[in-house]
Structure 1
Amino acid sequence: MDSTAEDGEGTGRRLRELRRARGLKQQDLASDDVSVSYISLIESGKRTPSATVVALLAERLGCTTGYLLTGQDDTRTRELELKASFADLSLHNGAGGEALQAYSEVLASTPVLPEATVRRARLGQALALEQLGRLEAAVQALTLLYEDPACVAGSAEWSRLATALCRCHQALGDQVLSVEIGERALRRLDRLGLEATDDHIQLGAVLVGCYRARGDLAKARLVADRLIRIADDRGGRTAQRETYWNAALVAQSQGRIDEALALAERARALLAESDHVRHHALLSGAFGTLLLASEPGDPERAHQLLERSHAQLVDVGTVLEQASAQTALALACLRLDRTAEAEQHAAKALGLLRDEPRTESAEARAVLAQARFAAGESSQAQETLRAAEQQLGQLPAARSSAAAWRRIADIWQQHGYAAEATGAYQQALNDAGLPGRLTSTDRAGAR
């Protein structure tokens, strides 16, 4: 058992690392032929195992003898690289659960893999967590990678990490941090003086979305206009699409609906050659929502687009995206006087959101209240609107909550509840940062 082998110390180190990566103890590798104490001596580099022992240990660890002896296992590495590629494809197609499982399986064999593959799998794992709506876990994983000294500023990986962190913090409602991360990253790029890449442009596009969510529409439009010029000059189709999409949303927020429709149509044209199902679904939904907001609008076409979007998002979208699609469908049905369907879609949106305190839940309740008023269910509609108000009261003041308050106020006013409408309009002003007769300290009491 003590015959000489090449690099005994390295064999011991690899044995120890792989055993720990597998979650095994030394006694799990022991047998009648190899004692626990002998395994300990091998791992410490004090004994060099024979070929027979190496083969036995490799079998128990699920690796090749070549890996234990030399650290090289081309067959296993190729298998894991193939699994990582499968995970990348699953992530691209919106199958976050499939991708997460595959990336986790790849990372379970970290000692066998090159560092570049390990980082690729860790990034993919974080993005899969984001896609599944597990945002806190995604932020934790992304931050570890972003702050790692091995992450080079300006690289594609660094840009993707900064972009994902902006998205996640914005989705979690932390508009300040999402904007801070995006601005700091863009300033870093400016100092480096690098020529803009697609990854850099997409980072800027996400920052535009963060400005919009924060209510800083002037800055959002300024950055969006600049990005469109850069993307048209030297960006690829993906970067152009992201830029036009976010610019369309900014235009919508500023009430420039015709311009928003034109920008969204441009984004859809750029997406035509892509096979990214989730992006197709989201853009169809965004375009349908814009058609509903336009005058006179096209509710029939909007409904068709939103139905197509929802059908795709059922397979590839996050829970939040599916719920938003249901709420949009409810609005389209209301415009088409299909009250019962509107009520069903709004109720399904609430079921998906599980009564979590977020503006999307309040918006779904507002639409449900509209449907109930239209169906002559006045008392239920009032109860639903008050539930929406109570839910908004649990959220910090923001542009998104101000818009939800405005929608609730309009519904109250439309149905003759003047006092309730006045209170909701005042809350909308407060959440938008404008002075109203109710101050922020009065919010809880007003409800």
Structure 2
Amino acid sequence: MDHSESSSPVLVGRRIRDLRVKLGLKQQDLASTDISASYISLIESGKRAPSDAVLGTLARKLGCSPDHLRTGRDDHALEDARLKLSFAEMALRNGDNGEALQSFGELLAKPALLDAPMRLRARIGQATALEKLDRIEAAIPVLEELAKDPSLAAGSDEWCRVSVALSRCYRNKGDVSLSIEIGERALATLDALGLDVTMDHIQVGSTLIGSYLMRGDLTRAHLLADKLIAAAEEHGGRSGRGAVYWNAGMVALSRRQLPEALALTERALALMADDDNLRHIAMLKMNVAWLELQSEHADPVRARDLLEDAGQTLAELGSAVEQARCEICLVDANTRLGRWDEAADHAHRALGLLSSGPRVEAVGARVRLAEIHLLRGETDTGLQALHAATRQLRHFAPSYETAQEWRHIGDVWKRQGRTKEALNAYEQALHASGMPATYDPARAVSPQHQS
């Protein structure tokens, strides 16, 4: 039975009558100056649908909630479900994603116990838990269904969360074009509402910047970052401003402006240092550390300390992919410090975290492991690992990320004096970045026209 059927006048009237009889009351006992006994009789027979005000008055006299009379949901069961929902959301905030997912699933398995706002919260929580557990293929259908839900008002906080999550999931799954389409559509919807720039604009825009970067559309990413920085400084809180500076730092990095990228990301970390989202702070520390390692005067000790601090938080609150990225950065920090054994341990941990499915990050871990073998003088093992990373990378679609990994592989081959392998990797990097090979004019010359 759906909720429209359970709220029919006949069933509402029957619930009122049954509860009145159970309490030993007469129709006259429910009557008041505004509600006659004859009107109560019409309600109980299903011939009149009570207004919300009348339903509220009758509920008070019957010792229950208006929702119970309207839907038949048990008040105690509803309160238990509300409490369980709050605990599930708390588990999600604390990084207990598996426990949260189980609780949301149990709640949604008994939809009759939930009112409409609770069902919406549980469905959004379920999608969030799935995404955090890196079960993106399972999260996307839930988010798609939510995005089509007519009760999700455009511009609401829930609508924004769903739009951002759906765009982010498609991006992480590799469908960058659809991710951008969703993000741009969400921004257009917010603009069409005629609102001033809000935190919703900033959240959607920040996600869209990340998708532009992944597609290699640096101009759009840069323009949107500049626009969001101005809006965040005027309208955003510290957390919102931090998110914008975080993305602006990534844009600067993509434009090879390393000092600016580090400065912007450091500012983002300072703005978000007091935020209660410990996972975001850990991710920012990881970004600052990575940028530190790329800078001209790198401080690998500082980078390692930031990464170890971030890693402790991500082990509790982060996804497997986020933890793996931190481990990969620790490979770089320890390699720079000459701590090759520790670097190799971190590379193996990253590969273990990424074992559930194909990820470009796994290629990065394998290339670094190959480098460590080569640094140790284990040439055959190192070259075998590099060949394995090359074969694995061929299975991924061209993207900005794969272009970076091809460049890394090419650099390692070049350092080994393997010109043929290096040239092939560099060509793959150019192809992945969207730069086609130039036309060979010799192909246009026919034999009879040659002198």
TMscore range, shorter length: 0.7 to 0.9
* 1:154 has 2:159 as partner: no
TM-score (norm 1): 0.81
Rounded to whole Å, the distance in 2 between the matches of 1:207 and 1:224 is 10
Number of the residue aligned with 1:29: none
Number of the residue aligned with 2:359: 358
Rounded to whole Å, the distance in 2 between the matches of 1:331 and 1:139 is 33
**What's the CA shift for 1:118?**
0.8
Rounded to whole Å, the distance in 1 between the matches of 2:380 and 2:343 is 18
Distance 1:118 1:370, change over 3 A: same
User: Letter of the aligned partner of 2:159 in structure 1?
Assistant: W
Rounded to whole Å, the distance in 1 between the matches of 2:148 and 2:79 is 29
The correspondence of residues 12-27 of structure 1 with structure 2, limited to 5 A, is none
Quick check: 2:107–2:122 contact (8 Å CA) kept in 1?
Answer: yes
| Secondary structure of the corresponding residue to residue 154 of structure 1 | coil
- Structure whose alpha-carbon radius of gyration is higher: 2
- 1:65-121 alpha-carbon deviations (Å, 9 max, x no partner): x95996253332222222222222222222211221222233233213220111011
Rounded to whole Å, the distance in 2 between the matches of 1:277 and 1:321 is 13
Rounded to whole Å, the distance in 1 between the matches of 2:267 and 2:148 is 36
User: Letter of the aligned partner of 2:152 in structure 1?
Assistant: C
Rounded to whole Å, the distance in 1 between the matches of 2:146 and 2:14 is 29
TM-score (norm 2): 0.81
User: Letter of the aligned partner of 2:348 in structure 1?
Assistant: A
- 1:386-440 alpha-carbon deviations (Å, 9 max, x no partner): 111111111111111001000111111122211111111111111111133799x
Distance 1:438 1:115, change over 3 A: farther
| Secondary structure of the corresponding residue to residue 387 of structure 1 | helix
Distance 1:70 1:383, change over 3 A: closer
User: Letter of the aligned partner of 1:372 in structure 2?
Assistant: H
Number of the residue aligned with 2:386: 385
Quick check: 2:155–2:200 contact (8 Å CA) kept in 1?
Answer: no
Distance 1:399 1:438, change over 3 A: farther
Rounded to whole Å, the distance in 1 between the matches of 2:155 and 2:175 is 24
* 1:124 has 2:125 as partner: yes
Quick check: 1:426–1:437 contact (8 Å CA) kept in 2?
Answer: no
The correspondence of residues 232-381 of structure 1 with structure 2, limited to 5 A, is 232-354=233-355, 356-381=357-382
Which deviates further from its counterpart, 173-182 or 193-202? Answer: 193-202
Distance 1:425 1:89, change over 3 A: same
Rounded to whole Å, the distance in 2 between the matches of 1:351 and 1:438 is 43
- 1:253-287 alpha-carbon deviations (Å, 9 max, x no partner): 21111111111111111211122221121111111
Rounded to whole Å, the distance in 1 between the matches of 2:328 and 2:101 is 28
Task: Give aligned-pair identity as a percent.
Answer: 45
**What's the CA shift for 1:303?**
0.5
Rounded to whole Å, the distance in 2 between the matches of 1:349 and 1:72 is 48
Rounded to whole Å, the distance in 2 between the matches of 1:389 and 1:150 is 48
**What's the CA shift for 1:382?**
0.9
Q: Which runs of 5+ in 1 are unaligned?
A: 1-5, 14-44, 46-63, 440-447
User: Letter of the aligned partner of 2:95 in structure 1?
Assistant: G
Q: Which runs of 5+ in 2 are unaligned?
A: 1-7, 16-45, 47-64, 441-451
Distance 1:242 1:12, change over 3 A: farther
| Secondary structure of the corresponding residue to residue 84 of structure 2 | helix
Number of the residue aligned with 2:420: 419
User: Letter of the aligned partner of 1:138 in structure 2?
Assistant: A
Number of the residue aligned with 2:435: 434
* 1:400 has 2:405 as partner: no
RMSD of aligned residue pairs (Cα, Å): 2.4
Which deviates further from its counterpart, 192-201 or 216-225? Answer: 192-201
Quick check: 2:130–2:138 contact (8 Å CA) kept in 1?
Answer: yes
| Secondary structure of the corresponding residue to residue 149 of structure 1 | coil
Rounded to whole Å, the distance in 2 between the matches of 1:333 and 1:12 is 72
Paired residue total: 384
* 1:98 has 2:80 as partner: no
Rounded to whole Å, the distance in 2 between the matches of 1:69 and 1:239 is 41
* 1:211 has 2:212 as partner: yes
Rounded to whole Å, the distance in 2 between the matches of 1:102 and 1:415 is 53
Quick check: 1:288–1:306 contact (8 Å CA) kept in 2?
Answer: yes
Quick check: 1:93–1:276 contact (8 Å CA) kept in 2?
Answer: no
* 1:187 has 2:188 as partner: yes
Distance 1:261 1:7, change over 3 A: same
**What's the CA shift for 1:195?**
2.2
